[in-house]
Amino acid sequence: MEEQGSSIAKRLATLISGLVECMCFAGIIFGWASFVYVLKDLHYFEDWCVPGANETANSTQDVDCSAQDEQLSLIFTIGSFMNNFMTFPTGYIFDRFGTTVARLLAISLYTCGTLLIAFSTAATALILFPALSFLSIGGILLILTNMQVGNLFGKHRSTIITLYNGAFDSSSAVFLVIKLLYERGLTLQAMFLFITACSAWHLVRTFFLLPWSHIPYPLPLGYTYGLSCQKRSRSYRTHEEKRPSCSPWEEEVADSDNMHSDPALNDTDVRTKVIVDKAESGTAPGSKERTVMSFRNCVFSKLFFWQLVWLSVMQLRHYLFIGTLNPMLEHMAAGDAKLVSTYTNAFAFTQLCGVLCAPWNGLILDRHKRRQKTEGNDKGMLDSLADLRSCVLSLAITVLQCVGFSICASISVLPVQYATFILQVLSRSFLYGGNAAFLSIAFPLEHFGKLYGLVMGLSAVVSLLQYPCFSLIKGPLNGNPFYVNIGLIVFMLLAFVHPLVVLQECRRREKDLAKHGTDSPALGIRNPGVESSI
C-alpha cells in the first residue's frame, strides 16, 4: 500500500510540474505584444526609423518608425509560423527517439533562445530572429512531451491533455510579467538569464519525472518510469504489483495473466513486451494477431482529412480575428482611442483564462466516454469505440462556439465584443485541446507525435490565407470586415462535417462488433501499449 501511495504521489508530481512547465515556458512567444514594448524602449531596430515628412530643423518629434514595426512584426511572424510548422519534424523525433531525446533537444533549443535574447543589444537586434524561432520550437517540443502525462490518469486522460493545451495558451502572460518587471527596474539580461537557469528544472523533470521512451495507454500493471525505478529489483514482483490496482487511474490495465508472472517492468520494456506477448498469443488457435495501423494509412484516412479541415478553418478564423482586432475596434469606436484601449485590454485579459477554459473540453470527453461505456456494457462496447464516440459531442461544441464568436464579431456594436472575446477564448481553448485529444484517441500512440505535427504544419499553411483576407479588408472593404466575417462563417460550416464523419465511423464499428465480435478486422482494437487504429 505504501508503494502504491508513492506511485500516486509521483504521478501527481509529474502532472503538477508539467503544468507549471507549460504555463511558464512553452508558449511565451504568444505574449509578443507585451515584449515589443520592452524592445522598443531598449531601442531595438530604432535605426530603421526615418525622419518624417513634416520634421523641421527645431523638431525631432516627427519620426516615421513603420519600418521598425515591420521588423518586429516579421520576427513574430516567423516565430509563430515555426511554432506550428515545425511540429511535424519535432513530432517525428518524439515518436522515433522517445521522450528523453526530444526533451534534451527542446531544452537545448530553448536555452539557446533565452541566451541569445539575454546577450542581445540594439546593435545586435537581428539575433532576435533565430532566438524567437528557438523559443518556439523548444516550446512546442516541451508541450508535445508533456501531453502524454494524461496517459497516467486513465479516465481523466482527455481532461489532462486539454488542461496542458490551456496552460500553453496562458503562458503568453510570461512576457507581460517581463514587461512589468522591466518597468520596475529589472534588466532584460537578468530576467532571461534567470529563465536560462530554469533549464535545470527541465532536466530534473526529464530524468526523474518522465520516461525514457513513451508512456503507454492503457497502463500495464506495475508500470514505472524515471531514474528512481532503476534501483528496483527485476527478479521478482512485489505483492502490490501482483495485486490488481484499486486506483481509479488504473482501471484500464494490460493483460494481467501475462504480466503477473514477469519481472517488474519499466517504461523501456513495457511497449516491446506487450506487443510481443500479444503477437505470441495470436498464434493460439482461434486468435488473430493485432497490427498497428501504419502512419501512411493514418494520414490518408478520412478521419485525419476531416480533422485537418476542422482545425484549419477555425484556426484561420482565430488568426484573422487577432490580426484585424485593432482596426476592427477602431472602426466600431469611430476612432476613440480610449475605447479602443479599453476593449484591447479586455481581450488581453481573457486570453489569460485559457488554462481555466481548456479542461472543460476534457471533462466533456471523459464524462461522455464513461456514459458511452455504461450504456454500451450490454453490447460489449470496446474502450476504443467509447473513446471515439465521446469525441463527437466535443467536436460539434467546438464548431458551435467558433460560429457563435464569429457571429458576435460580425455585429458592429462595441458591447457585443465582450461576448466575442469570451467565446473566442473558449473556442480557441477547445480547438487546440480537442485537436490533441482527438488525435490521441483516434490513431495509434506510436504515430501521435508525427500526426500532431503534420496536422499543425498543414493547418499553418492554410492559415496563410489570412493575408489576402487582411488585404481585402484594408483595401476594397475600407477597413470593414463584415463581409469577410460572413464568408468565413459560411466556410466554417465545413467543420460540421467532421463530427458527422466520426459518428458514422462509430456506427460502422458498432455494426462490425455486433456481427464479428472483437475479431473483426475493421475494428480499432486497443491493445495494452498500442492505441486504437482506424
Q: Are 457 and 85 in contact (CB under 8 A)?
A: yes
Q: Which of 303-307, 387-391, 441-445 has the lowest mean pLDDT?
A: 387-391
Contacts (Cβ under 8 Å, ≥6 apart) of 188: 38, 42, 117, 118, 178, 182
Q: Are 350 and 424 in contact (CB under 8 A)?
A: yes
Q: What is the pLDDT of residue 327?
A: 66
Q: What is the pLDDT of residue 500?
A: 92
Q: How many CB atoms lie within 10 A of CB 311?
A: 25
Q: Which of 289-298, 331-340, 356-365, 371-380 has the lowest mean pLDDT?
A: 371-380
Q: Which of 103-117, 186-200, 512-526 has the lowest mean pLDDT?
A: 512-526
Q: Which of 206-210, 348-352, 482-486, 509-513 has the lowest mean pLDDT?
A: 348-352
Q: b vs e for 510-534, b when ≥16 Cβ sit within 10 Å of the residue's Cβ?
A: bebbeeeeeebeebbbbbbbbbbbb
Top-confidence residue, 26 or 387: 26
Q: Which of 32-41, 185-194, 266-275, 381-390 has the lowest mean pLDDT?
A: 266-275
Q: What is the pLDDT of residue 112?
A: 94
C-alpha distances out from residue 360 to 130, 156, 249, 312, 433, Å: 36, 12, 19, 22, 10
Distance CA 244, CA 250 (A): 9
Q: Kindly state the average pLDDT of the residues 443-467.
A: 80
Q: What is the pLDDT of residue 191?
A: 93
Biggest CA–CA distance in the chain, Å, is 96
Q: How many CB atoms lie within 10 A of CB 235?
A: 7
Task: Inform me whether the pLDDT recorded for 90 exceeds 80.
Answer: yes
Residue 109's pLDDT band (cuts 50, 70, 90): very high
Handedness of CA 466, 68, 87, 161 (dihedral sign): negative
Residue percentage of the chain with pLDDT more than 70: 72
Task: Inform me whether the pLDDT recorded for 475 exceeds 60.
Answer: yes
Task: Inform me whether the pLDDT recorded for 169 exceeds 90.
Answer: no
Q: Are 456 and 165 in contact (CB under 8 A)?
A: no
Q: What is the pLDDT of residue 278?
A: 38
- For the stretch 50-84, pLDDT in tens is 776 555 444 445 676 667 777 777 787 788 778 77
Q: Kindly state the average pLDDT of the residues 386-402.
A: 85
Q: Kindly state the average pLDDT of the residues 437-449.
A: 81
Task: Inform me whether the pLDDT recorded for 168 exceeds 80.
Answer: yes
Q: What separation, in Å, do the N-terminal and C-terminal C-alpha atoms of the chain show?
A: 39
Residue 241's pLDDT band (cuts 50, 70, 90): very low
Distance CA 391, CA 440 (A): 11
The residues pairing with 242 across neighbouring beta strands, listed in sequence order, are none
Q: Are 211 and 267 in contact (CB under 8 A)?
A: yes
* pTM score over 0.95: no
Q: Kindly state the average pLDDT of the residues 407-412.
A: 87
- Residue 189 parent element (H or E): helix 188-197
- For the stretch 264-318, pLDDT in tens is 444 444 443 433 343 333 433 444 444 667 888 888 989 999 999 999 999 888 8
Task: Inform me whether the pLDDT recorded for 338 exceeds 80.
Answer: no
Q: What is the pLDDT of residue 283?
A: 39
- For the stretch 8-43, pLDDT in tens is 888 888 889 888 888 888 888 877 767 777 888 888
Peptide bond into 415 cis (omega under 30): no
Distance CA 42, CA 31 (A): 18
Distance CA 169, CA 23 (A): 8
